[in-house]
Structure formats: structure tokens, C-alpha cells
Amino acid sequence: MIKIRIPATSANLGAGFDALGLAVSLYNYVEMEESDRVEISTTDSIPVPTDKTNMIYVAASDLYEVCGKELSGLKIKQTNNIPMTRGLGSSSACIVAGLVGANELLGRPLSDDDIVNLSAQIEGHPDNTAPALLGGIVTAVFDGRRVHWVKQEVFTKLKFVAIIPDFELSTSKARACLPKQIDFSDAVYNLSRAALFSSSLLTGKFENLRTGVDDRLHQPYRMELIPNAREVFDIAYSHGAYAAYISGAGPTIMAIADESNEFFAGKLKFSLENAGLTGWKVVELKIDNTGTTIL
């Protein structure tokens, strides 16, 4: 049996809608081996599908089909630390786990490029799946057939603090609220800020990050689906955050702070509780530069 570690991901990073994503140090674990039947279980109390509709099994089955191999069944054991439908890439983690696990069981016939492409075809976009597989911060474009991507490892004195509410927000609902058309000026607004975010993160000009995460394509609309989101943003900035943005489709809000801001997470949690926002969990993370790993 093989064991796989898959990182959570934070996508969009404000202005980089469906194009930017990074891996963070929160992990799911999947154990997998070939079997003559489908046998799926968890090591925790998180309910998951235990039949062939399980996303890990679906992804593994797709890879077997691509490689022309027959799959009679799998034994899968999941440890789910990434909260589901919270904007931290839980579905992408399952897809990547299934693909990487199946590829390993078959002797690694597919390259990272192949798996990046296949995972984007399954998920529909690469902003979570690519960094989950590759680690670091990934800029990716999916042209409908293949993904054009660049991974950059990030070695910064930054902490990423996930502010996770006690309610879910499905990606389908979060996408349904978005406008069908946008103004040309809004496109220019986002393009400039997405470029500014990446370059500022990689060169240490962290004072630019707040401007870099400002967005007109998705955050103003998704804010309305996340009760108290604006107040959470304000609290994060009041304690010295470089930036705050909706992680993925939400409802998690990610704050970026300097490593020297030693008690940022504690002060943030205290202020949230003091404001009556007791349903928000605060988790301090770092960028994961490794991506999915066979342990």
C-alpha cells in the first residue's frame, strides 16, 4: 500500500481569478492499493462516498483508462484534514491524490505535465489542482486541452493565516453569483493587480500585496455570500496584515502577515471572538513548496 500526502491550496489570490494558486501546509493523507473490489474508508469522522463515485477513485479510474489499463478495484483510506467546501482545495486534493496514487501503482507512466493536464480536465480549471500537485505558487492557463504553467518556489518570511468559518459554500453557488460580462476597465484592473501580486510576493515588496489582491471580478460578488466577511477583512488589516482575500470560491478568508508579526493569529482570533464572530477558526500556515508527495 502506498501513502500520499496532498497539500491544501489557496486559489485566485485576489485578482488572479482561475489563474493563480499556491499550496499551503495543511494536508490530506491517502493510502491506496489495488484490490479486486472497491473498499473506501476514513481514519476520521468525515463522511465520504464509499463507492465508485468517490472522487479519489474516479480520478484513479480515469488515469487507468488513459493508460489503457483495467481497474478492478482499489482499497483507499482517507485522512481528511482539509475542510470540505471551504475554499481550500479539498476536491482538488482528492483528484490529485487519485491521479498520483494510480500513476504510482502503474509504475509512473505519466509525467507531471500529463497529470497537471488530466487534473485540470477533471476539475475544469487548474488554479487548485496544479499547486496541489506541484507546490509553491503556480500561474496556469488552461486552453481546454492542456495547461500552460509556471511553478515558482517561495521562500519568504510570511505566514498565511486561514480564517475558516463554520459554514460551507459550494463552488457552484459561488460561481453562479458572478456576472456573465465585465467592463473592459475591470479586466485591466485585475490584470495589473494579478501581475503585481506575483512579482511583489517573489521579490519581497510585500507592501504591494494589499493592492495586488484587490479585485473586481469575483470578490465583490462572493462577499455577499459570506456573512461578516468585510468585518473579518477589517480585523485582519487592523492587526497588520499585508493582504487579505477570499481563498478560492470561499468562504475561507486568507490573511498574509509578516513572520515578525509574532502574535498575529492570536490577536486575530481574540478580536474575532470579541466581535462575536465565534464561528471562525484561525489556522496559521506556510507555503508548501513540495506539493504532493509519496511517503
Question: For every one of its 295 residues, what pLDDT tens digit does the chain have, with 9 covering 90 and above?
Answer: 899 999 999 999 999 998 999 999 999 999 999 999 999 999 988 889 999 999 999 999 999 999 999 999 999 999 999 999 899 999 999 999 999 999 999 999 999 999 999 999 999 889 999 999 999 999 999 998 899 999 999 877 899 999 999 998 888 888 899 999 999 999 999 999 999 999 999 899 999 999 999 999 999 999 999 999 999 999 999 999 999 999 999 999 999 999 999 899 999 999 999 999 988 999 999 999 999 999 9
Three-class HEC string of the chain: CEEEEEEEEEECCCCCCCCEEEEEEEEEEEEEEECCCCEEEECCCCCCCCCCCCHHHHHHHHHHHHCCCCCCCEEEEEECCCCCCCCCCHHHHHHHHHHHHHHHHCCCCCCHHHHHHHHHHHHCCCCCHHHHHHCCEEEEEECCCCEEEEEECCCCCEEEEEEEECCCCCHHHHHHCCCCCCCHHHHHHHHHHHHHHHHHHHHCCHHHHHHHCCCCCCHHHHHHHCCCHHHHHHHHHHCCCCEEEECCCCCCEEEEEECCCCCHHHHHHHHHHHCCCCCEEEEEECECCCCCEEC
Q: What is the pTM of this model?
A: 0.92
The structural architecture, per CATH, of the domain 158-285 is 2-Layer Sandwich (3.30)
- Residues carrying CATH 3.30.230.10, the chain: 2-153+290-294
- Residues carrying CATH 3.30.70.890, the chain: 158-285
CATH topology of domain 2-153+290-294: Ribosomal Protein S5; domain 2 (3.30.230)
